[in-house]
Amino acid sequence: MLLTLLNRKEKLKFLDLVMHMVSVDGEPTEIEQRILNIMLAEVGDGIVSEYHFALSKELDETIQYFVEASPTVKNIVYLNLVKVTMFDDFYNTTEHFFLEGIREKFGITDQKKKQLMQIVYMERDLRERAKRVVNH
């Protein structure tokens, strides 16, 4: 969501960060892989062709890159990280702690976190309503 607003380097760094997040508890689940594919489509084919689908060793460097980014970029990155963790109904404490660490380093307040999470909930609700409408 809103990944198209990021520049080329931000998109590549985001992909690196999201890969670390989904791998923090082991291999990505089928649902996590599905949402990753959606995000890959959103960043565009040019970025996907440049990205190496392996975990980099520069997680701290990637986080620091975003720490120095604008609040808008941090919010977009955090929103999409939240989206990945909330896409399924499985609550993972490892991902939660990873996300909280990112939130603190990005300087995202609890209020902003709640607003971003609400957006993800609203998107999920809309998707579920759409499924019900087209299936009946």
Domain boundaries defined on the chain:
3-135
Smallest CA-to-CA distance from 56 within 95, 91, 21 is with: 21
Across the range 87-109, mean pLDDT stands at 87
SS (H, E, C) the chain: CCHHHCCHHHHHHHHHHHHHHHHCCCCCCHHHHHHHHHHHHHHCHHHHHHCCCCCCCCHHHHHHHHHCCCHHHHHHHHHHHHHHHHCCCCCCHHHHHHHHHHHHHHCCCHHHHHHHHHHHHHHHHHHHHHHHHHHC
**Whether pLDDT at 82 is above 80:** yes
**CB-hemisphere CA count at 13 Å for 103?**
19
In the CATH scheme, what is the code of domain 3-135?
Answer: 1.10.3680.10
pLDDT score, position 100: 95
Tokens found for residue 70: 């604008």
CA distance 97 to 24: 10
Whether the model clears a pTM of 0.85, i.e. scores above it, the answer is yes
**Whether pLDDT at 91 is above 70:** no
Angle of helix 71-86 relative to helix 93-106, nearest 10 degrees?
170
**Whether pLDDT at 75 is above 70:** yes
Mean per-residue pLDDT over the chain, rounded: 87
pLDDT digits (tens, 9 = 90+) for 10-68: 998 998 898 888 888 777 778 777 877 888 888 887 877 776 666 667 889 999 999 99
